[in-house]
Structure 1
Amino acid sequence: MRIDNIHQALKQFHVQNPSSKATLLPATASQLSQASGYTRTAVSEELSELVRKDQVVKVKSRPVLFFDKDYLEEQFPFFKSSTCYDSLASLQEDIYQQAEQIHKKKQLLKMNPFANVIGFDGSLADAIKKLKAAILYPPNGLNILLTGESGVGKTLIAEQLHQFYQVKMNQEVPFIYFNCAEYFNNPELLTSHLFGYKKGSFTGAVNDQKGLVELADGGFLFLDEVHRLTSEGQEKLFTVLDKGYFTRMGEAEKQRNVSIKFIFATNEAVNQHFLKTFLRRIPVTLAIPALAERSMKEKIQLILSFFLEESQRIQKNIHIRYEALKQLTFTHFEANVGELKAAIQFMSAQAYLEVFDQLTETICIEANEGTVKEQPDVESLLAFNEWIPNDGLTIQYNHFYLSSQELLKSESLKNDRFYNFLLKEYADLKKLTLSTEDALAIMQNKVEQFYDMDIFAQEPLAIEAIDETLQPKIQEAIVFFEQLIQEKLTEDFQNILIVHLYSAVFYSAQMNETFYSDTKNIYSGKVTQYQAAKTMVDFLQTLFGISFADTEILFFDLFIRKVTAKKRAHSVEENCGVIVVAHGAATASSMVEYTNLLFSTTVMRAVDMPINQSVEETLEKVRTIVKQNQYKKIILMVDIGSLVYFGNAISQTFQMEVLLISNINLLTLLEVAREVIYESTAFEYLLPVLKEKNHRALICSKGRFNEAKVLIISCLTGMGTAIKIEQLLLKTFPNELLTNVRIITLEKREVEDIDRLHSFVRKEEKIVGIIGTVKTEVPDIPFISLQDLLSKRGIQLVFELLGHHLEEKQNQELLKKVSAKYIQGLSIEAITDLLTVLNPTTISIELAKIYSDICLQTKIKSDEKILLRFIIHCACMLERQLLNPEYDPTAYEVSYRELPEAVSVIKMAFRPIEVSYNLLIPPLEVRYIYELLFEKA
Structure 2
Amino acid sequence: MKKELDEYLYELTMNLNEGSEERFSANQIAESLQLNRSTISSYLNQAFREGELIKIKNYPVLFLHKNALLDASIMIDRAEYDSIEKLLAPEMGNALEEIIGANGSLKEAIDQIKTAVLYPHNGLPILLMGVSGSGKTFLAEKIYDYAKEQQVINSKAPFIAYNCAQYFNNPELLSSALFGHTKGAFTGADHEHSGLIEKADGGILFLDEVHRLSEEGQEKLFTFMDTGEFSPMGDTSIRRKANVRLIFATTENVYSAFLPTFLRRLPVIVTLPKFQNRPQSERLRLIDSFFIAESSILEKELQVSYPLIDFLLNSDLEGNVGKIKNIIKYACGNAYVHKKNSQIIVVRLKDLPLEYNLKFKEQFSKPKKKMPDRTYLPNTTQQIHLESKETQLLRSFFDEIVGEFKKVQQKESLAQAFIEDNVNRVTQMMDEFIFQGTYEKEESLYSVLTYHIRQTLDMMYENYGFEQDGNRVVSLVSYLYLKDNTDILSSHYEWQEQKNDMMEFLDSFLETPFWYAKKLLTYLSQQLDQQLLEEDIVFVTFYFYSLQISDLPNDVKCIVLAHGYSTASSLANVVNRMLGKNVFQAYDMPINITLDKVEAQIIRYINDYRTDSGLILLVDMGSFNQLGERLTNHIKSPLVIIDNVSTPLVLEVGQHIVNGNSVTEVYEAITVENRIQKQLIIPEINKKKAIITCCYTGMGSATQIQEILQKCLGDSARELTILPYDYKKLAENKMYETPFQLYDVLMIVGTENPKINQIPYIGLDQLINGEAISEFAGLLQEQVAIDDGAFKSQLIFNFSINKIVENLTILDATKVLRLVQKAVKELEKLMGIEFSNNQLFLLYMHCCSMIERILRKESVDEQDDIEEYVQKEGHNMELIHQAFLEVEKEYTIELPLLELRLLNDIVKE
With normalisation by structure 1, the TM-score equals 0.43
Of structures 1 and 2, the larger Rg is shown by: 1
With normalisation by structure 2, the TM-score equals 0.44
